[in-house]
Amino acid sequence: MATVPLPGEKAELIERTVPFQGYFRVARYVFRQDLYQGGQSGEFSREVFERGQAAAVLLYDPVRDEVVMIRQFRAGSFAAGRHPWSWEVVAGIIEEGESPEDLVRREAVEEANLEVGALEFINSVMLTPGACSESCALYAGRVDSSAAGGIFGLASENENILVKALPFAELRAMLDRAEIDNAIAVIALQWLALHRDSLRKRWS
């Protein structure tokens, strides 16, 4: 679901070029925009990191009241000077012709060795709207966490993913202690904190 625009919020694309294309792409955009005080701005440029569109799923077992989380090395966190491992939810980049729902079901098998049952849409969010075109469609997915755990991922992509089922109460305490710094995981867990009781009733 897109952001609802306010009156007078329009932008005009003047030019787009691609100064870098590697594993990811960096594009340079030139815009003009309408101003809140009236009139239009002059031309200005922004570089945008173009990575594709993503989807993610919070793997939740309503019977055991457990969330299945994953943990893997992240180069961006390392470059930011942070500890480059953190607790995350399953996520991936949507491939051409693939729906977000199909993506999260596929990634749940690849990253956590779990089959997802019912899915509930949470939100579609921009991750870094000032610099990146990537959005993420976020879901809650019902799983059986009784056999969850282990090390998974695709060796061909240098993935080494720790999978662990954690009680919701433990994750809630970790949130309160600011021990989870992955934005999508924080959003998903906070959503679960708000909707957990009703979700357990629907998935009972």
- Amino acid sitting at position 46: R
Structure tokens belonging to residue 134: 């990537």
pLDDT at position 3 is: 78
pLDDT over threshold 60, residue 1: no
pLDDT at position 149 is: 96
Q: For 61-75, how does the pLDDT look when each residue is reduced to its tens digit (9 = 90+)?
A: 999 999 999 999 999
Structure tokens belonging to residue 107: 């990634």
Q: Where do the CATH 3.90.79.10 domains begin and end in the chain?
A: 54-202
DSSP bridge partners of 16: 29
3-state SS class at 103: helix
The residues annotated as belonging to the active site are: 157
For residues 2 and 181, what is the distance between their CA atoms, to the nearest angstrom?
Answer: 25
pLDDT over threshold 80, residue 21: yes
pLDDT at position 154 is: 80
Please report where in the chains the tokens 């990634």 appear, as a residue. 107
Give the class (CATH, top level) of 54-202.
Answer: alpha beta
